[in-house]
Amino acid sequence: MQMANTVKKQDSTVEQQSTSLLVHVGHRIVVAIDGPAGAGKGTLATRLAEELGLAFLDTGALYRVVATLMIDSNGNPERAEDIDFCIKAALKYITPELLSRPELRREDVAAMASKVAAVPEVRAALLDFQRHFAKNPPEGYKGVVLDGRDIGTVVCPDADIKIFVTADAETRAKRRYEEVMARNGKADYEAILADMKERDLRDSTRAVAPTKPAEDAIIVDTSSWGIEETFKNTLQKIRDNMATKSKEKAA
């Protein structure tokens, strides 16, 4: 009985601490989470959204929808008419269910998503969708968590909390290798590493919205952290960040 009461007390404390993060914000909170592929930002974003009672949007999935359409239609991301077709089709059919479909996680889709994301017309078309979600969270939510490549720098530069999740390429490639092995039973680590480095270069050097941390972002390096450690350490970083902002606001 004593142990059960202790656990309940700890759970209550965690809930109070999580809620207290939002107290000083006079509007619906926006949490922007950016970073390269395989750094763990999607898992972290989902956990934080659950912990803070916020709606979650994986913005990378939007680009994966366009990429899937491009692949299925044998399109060329360098051809304007193909890009136009895929953008219109994606915006017409995007739903929460579509964004969670497992086929969006295929490696060929991920590679194509990086290519279509470098096309200015694609980014412009999806920008409005992301900003509308940030300003109009689903009913019952206190705010939103958006995870992507340029949320804190372009999509929501005024986000209340900005986090940049990163890890070295080898660690990220190993994680992706294990993920693919678990799903398909077959994977090539060296090929995944090479593809990841190529994608990193393309994402960080593209002319429009390159992947980089916002100046005021909280940097989270997950190279040596597991899922739980990443979550707990990031939550503490957020608490410290929000406490500092609260003091500055009160001063």
Bridge partners (DSSP) of residue 142 are none
Reported as a pLDDT band with limits 50, 70 and 90, residue 21 is low
What's the confidence (pLDDT) of residue 26? Answer: 53
Cα within 13 Å of Cα(147), Cβ side = 24
Question: pTM for the complete prediction?
Answer: 0.81
Mean pLDDT calculated for residue range 18-27: 52
Reported as a pLDDT band with limits 50, 70 and 90, residue 22 is low
Mean pLDDT calculated for residue range 68-93: 94
What's the confidence (pLDDT) of residue 2? Answer: 42
Mean pLDDT calculated for residue range 227-231: 93
* pLDDT of 28 over the 60 cut: yes
What's the confidence (pLDDT) of residue 58? Answer: 92
Specify which of 15-19, 148-152, 245-249 reaches the highest per-range mean pLDDT. 148-152
- 166 torsion bin: left (phi>0), alpha (psi -120 to 50), beta (else): beta
Bridge partners (DSSP) of residue 161 are 31
Q: Are 34 and 151 in contact (CB under 8 A)?
A: yes
What's the confidence (pLDDT) of residue 95? Answer: 84
Instruction: Report d(CA 26, CA 29) in Å as an integer.
Output: 8
Mean pLDDT calculated for residue range 153-180: 94
CA nearest to 129, candidates 98, 108, 103, 104: 98
> Mapped to the 3 state alphabet, what secondary structure does 146-183 carry?
EEECCHHHHHCCCCCEEEEEECCHHHHHHHHHHHHHHH
Give Rg (Cα) of the chain.
19
Q: Are 213 and 152 in contact (CB under 8 A)?
A: yes
Domains and CATH numbers, the chain: 27-229 (3.40.50.300)
In tens, the pLDDT along 29-38 reads 899 999 998 8
